[in-house]
Homo-oligomer: A and B are copies of this chain.
């Protein structure tokens, strides 16, 4: 389904030659006056210059423009990087008549090289000239670096008697150029949402989507996710009740669809793996077990090989660091097949049944811890020859 336009949002893009010639590498997203925004950023202590600047600008003003470049992450660039990010915002502000603090900058690409500011600024008029409400698809293409396909998600539903639209785009953790896992996601709605509520909705949606995926555990320096609410649909999202639930669900669905698209396009991925951990004492320990499984190179290579090597999953659960874990209460399923029960291989399990499941392109591991009522679910990829090839290729 093509991305639906969101009233109050226009998108433009251009090729500014930031790293390569003839490549769309500059995207401008314009939000109508009165738009509210919420954002989440990387928790990497070494965040990139644009992340620092975007955080500061967001605290000072409501954004009118998101300015995104690919080809250069402007990370590990020190004071010069901060100055460059600020300068890019000033340049866009001058050309559009807004204040610099009303521009949020985002960069993705190689770490540690100076941002080619002059080329970026020179590309702005062309990007602004293409601003249009239908620009979502081109923008999705424009923020790609090494993704193999553009990613968007879109929903439209009646809310409070009006039609409300949510559309988002994202670029992925496909580090085909061996620099970093940069996740960028931009989502907009034409519903009117109070700033505090918008932030709450975004944080909840991100927790279940972008913060529930991993390719290799390498948190990027540039991750950012922005949610814009233009209010132009003429309907306000209430703080509670059915309308609130419905809106929250739309945002959540769009975020999950984008997050899953990132995993499906993960570097070298041949399998889409859901890791669900249930019966934990709290969500934190369920996530701990899920990530231990999702980051295990042994499990990831076994999935690549379609090898039902359940001992590796058992061993990962065992080393996840849970105190007082009772082995005899743990059960592990691959899709519908129980592989481990009571601390050992399920009596009904056969290698053939395990093999059957492992050949599927989408597989769910379900771990029952048997010690509480909490659960968590994340998505990940396998570890293939292509992962190594992609990330071992030199940066030229």
Contact surface of A with B, Cβ cutoff 8 Å: 43-47, 73, 75-78, 81, 110-112, 175, 178-181, 216-221, 295-298, 301-302, 304-305, 307, 309-312, 314-320, 322, 325, 327, 340, 342-345, 383-385, 387-389, 391-395
Contacts and interface: CB of A to CB of B under 8 A. Distances in A.
A384 to B, nearest CB: 7
Contacts of A307: 178, 392, 394-395
Given A46-B343, A217-B296, A344-B78, A314 B111 contact: yes
B178 A301 contact: yes
B343 A298 contact: no
Nearest to A382: B392
Closest 5 CB pairs of A and B: A111-B311, A46-B318, A305-B392, A78-B344, A301-B391
B384 A388 contact: yes
Contact of A296 (B75, B218, B384, B394): B218
A325 B297 CA distance: 28
A218 B392 contact: no
Given A304-B388, A317-B46, A344-B77, A298 B218 contact: yes
Nearest to A302: B178
Contacts of A387: 297, 301, 388
B389 A315 contact: no
Contacts of A44: 315, 318-319
Oligomeric state, in number of copies?
2
Contacts of A219: 315, 318-319
A391 B298 contact: yes
Contact of A180 (B45, B312, B384, B391): B312
Given A219-B319, A319-B44, A345-B76, A112 B385 contact: no
A218 to B, nearest CB: 5
Nearest to A179: B311
A388 B388 contact: yes
Contacts of A78: 342-344
A76 to B, nearest CB: 5
A307 B390 CA distance: 13
30 contacts: A44-B319, A45-B319, A45-B320, A76-B311, A76-B340, A76-B345, A111-B312, A111-B315, A112-B310, A112-B311, A112-B314, A112-B344, A178-B301, A179-B309, A179-B311, A216-B296, A218-B312, A218-B315, A218-B319, A219-B319, A221-B311, A221-B318, A297-B391, A301-B391, A302-B391, A305-B392, A305-B393, A305-B394, A307-B394, A385-B388
Nearest to A218: B298
A391 B305 CA distance: 8
Contacts of A178: 298, 301-302, 305, 307, 309, 312
A137 to B, nearest CB: 30
B221 A392 contact: no
